[in-house]
Amino acid sequence: MNFSKKLSAVGVATALFLCLITTLEPLFAQDTNRAHYFPLPERSGEIIESEDQSFYLQVVAEGLENPWGAAFLPDGTILITERDTGKIRIIKNGELQSGSLNGVPEVNNRNQGGLLDIAIHPDFQNNQLVYFAYSRPVSGNNTTTALARARLNDMNLEDKEIIFEGGPESNRPFHYGNRIVFDNDGYLFFAIGDRGDMSLAQDLSNHAGKTFRLYDDGRIPSDNPFTAHSNAQPEIFSFGNRNIQGMTMHPGTGEIWSNEHGPRGGDEINIIRSGNNYGWPKITHGVNYNGSIITPDTAAPGMEQPFHHWTPSIAVSGMAIIYNNEHYPRWHNSVFNGALAGQHLNRVVISGDTPSFVKEERLLSGIGRIREVLVAPDGYLYILEESNGRLIRILPAS
């Protein structure tokens, strides 16, 4: 079913933001009592039935170009990165502004590169710090994945600094990763893909195909798993990750979950734990794009099995977890993943805090390429859909 026409009938149902919050809770918490809200629209358009929850869609903004990441500020402003233009767009008072933030560094937008994820500091209300990741041009066609932060002052990014940069630099414009997540303890998690060279993901001497744990200023925690290894990069938290495209913190357990692209088949969900090896490319459920075998092995000693995998690939991107959320009681313990090639919103139902897979459901088939999925401070589920350049909120019908 093609939802583009159906959503055009709904129109851009935007409205003014109502209020500010006086104390900043972690953006990942799904306690909506202290969160700001946009007003809900008059319910209109098609009611969509899932297996457990009926819902409808509100287009918050449209006219974005290749939107990649979003961050919700305490005053109700939303910042959205555009991968190809290298701009950070602004939704303020319910309207997409014509301008963008000043001071974004130069990005290399070749192929999969550009301006990628964005997040705000857990204490943003006091320090105004914004974090963003991008493919940084270094020499010739070579690029790295850089993580930077800056202080937001009105429409300007000031006091910019790169707090982490992944090496080695490469002229391959692929697999930059990434997502940026803060956990309940204030650690910053960040991921970089294998940059198109699968052999790098098992080598701890470089940053490709890894996740990282840092302090908010880029310093390295002394209890990171490989700090005592002389040949390992001390920022590494896990390895053997092909190309992470979604990452979130589980609101109940505090653990970091991710999804990542497989090759042709073998997209994965993983729970990212200290020192774990997730196997790429030694084990995989996928094959090369030309159909040739990467490895005959789907399991090996010392390598983690994915929590869930998809073959054929749906090209996962973006991730959010609904847990004890008052808006979606029938979606409790659901992991939502965007699908790029699959052009749907994927719901994986899990059981318990020591989780196990229950079932999978595919929603909004044909809506377009979903790049990001997130639960915002108002407790509602949002998606960034890049095919038509829209930010969409998912609202329960009841």
As annotated, the active-site residues are 175
CA–CA distances in Å: residue 212 to residues 30, 136, 232, 275: 25, 18, 12, 10
Whose CA is closest to 27, among 66, 79, 95?
Answer: 79
The first and second tokens of residue 274, run together, are 């200290």
H-only helix segments in the chain: 3-10, 124-127
Cα torsion angle, 102, 105, 109, 112, sign:
negative
Token pair, residue 118, equals 């964005």
b/e map 339-363, b = 16+ CB within 10 Å? bbebbbbbbbbbeeeebeeeeebeb
In Å, how far from its chain's centre is CA 182? 12
DSSP for 140-205, written as a single string: TTEEEEEEEEEEEETTEEEEEEEEEE-SS-BS--------EEE-TTS-EEEEE--TT-GGGGG-TT
Rounded to whole angstroms, the Cα distance separating 270 from 332 reads 19
Cα(135)–Cα(149) distance, rounded to whole angstroms?
Answer: 14
3-class DSSP state for residue 347?
Answer: strand
Q: What is the Cα–Cα distance from 270 to 290, expressed in whole angstroms? A: 26
Tokens of 22: 């006086």
**C-alpha dihedral sign at 203, 207, 208, 211:** positive
